[in-house]
Amino acid sequence: MSDVPHLLIPFAASPSGGCQQTLKDLPLPHLDRLLARMSLVSTDAGEETDFSPPHERALARSLGLPAAKNGITPWAAWQQRHLRDEAAKQKAWTYITPCQWHVSTDHVTMLDPADLQLTPFSSRALMDILAPWFAEDGIELIYDEPMRWIASGDVFDGVAAASLDRVIQRDVRSWMPLADNAEHTRAIHRLQSEMQMLLYTHPINDARAEEGLPPVNTFWMHGAGRLPQPPAATAMPLVPTGLRDSALREDWRQWAAQWRELDAGAVAEIEHHVAAGGKARLTLCGECSSMEFQTTEHSFGQKLKRLFSRPQRFLDLQSKL
């Protein structure tokens, strides 16, 4: 199936009342026609409290990576799989995202890191400030992109770390990383607290305030662990990200606009491919679960049954996501 196009859609639906109401008036003709030509082949049922959201689990399965619900997919180590240094490949890696926690009397809320508006220059400057503190715990920080650094260190081995997509706009206290080794768990939590104290009065945040930018006051780690033996190379699914930001902000009007654009674009391309006799895979992911559909060969009896049966429509399926 490696040469079969695979469209994997995160945040395709949400149990939010606003989303459910929006879906009632959201025509997705290409998606409905595509679903009518496909069969449901698997369902991955989960909960909103899972550290790994359905789209990350589905992507991990597609790439041959650990796909458990408890946040153990070693995404950072997988990104480092092409390193020439064999010793480096064996290390435990993680992603580090600079972020802002808003602390109130009864919540510690992760605000969207994108709102920090970090540039390559400001991100590198921030990383240089924090790097010595991380080094004291045997952690090396490496710049990757403005909103994400890569870190290596034994402390990240065996850590269950919640996806960034799980914690944005939520109380982080329910999602704190947990390690098999209690000492590693304490070290990570201590480092997060130390960074809060360091950054609280640091001049870098004074400079940001003068520019009208929010403060950076801690970090979030995700995608942690080792990957001693990388999986065989597999074609990457097409994973559109247009629905993500509006879903996390619960901006359902913008989410609907993104869905219409996606339906007329990538979904329409797959639908035309299938209508012309091609094969394809489609994975729809929500807050809790995902469903995978494939084009399959049918016997004459099955084709006759499908001809007279009511075709699958997204509106009928979304409650299962």
Listed by start position, the domains of the chain span 6-64+232-320, 75-225
Q: Rounded to whole angstroms, how far apart are CA atoms 321 and 243? A: 15
Contact 89, 42 (CB under 8 A): no
Residue 6 bridge partners (DSSP): 281
- Residue-wise pLDDT tens digits, 59-111: 999 999 999 999 999 999 999 988 878 888 889 999 999 999 999 989 999 99
Q: Are the beta carbons of 258 and 26 closer than 8 angstroms? A: no
CB-based contact 177:119 (threshold 8 Å): no
pLDDT at 321: 87
> Per-residue pLDDT tens for 183-241?
999 999 999 999 999 999 999 999 999 999 999 999 999 999 999 888 988 899 999 99
pLDDT reading at 320 higher than 90: no
Question: What's the whole-number mean pLDDT along residues 256-262?
Answer: 97
> Three-state DSSP class for 224?
strand
16 φ, ψ to 5°?
A: -55, 140
Helices 17-24, 252-262: crossing angle, 10 deg rounding: 50
Q: Exposed, middle or buried: residue 290 (CB in 10 Å: 0-12, 13-18, 19+)?
A: buried
Summarised one tens digit per residue, pLDDT across range 123-167 is 999 999 999 999 999 999 999 999 999 999 999 999 999 999 999
Q: Are 47 and 291 in contact (CB under 8 A)?
A: no
pLDDT in tens, 3-29: 789 999 999 999 999 999 999 999 999
Name the residue among 15, 94, 111, 17 with its Cα closest to residue 54: 15
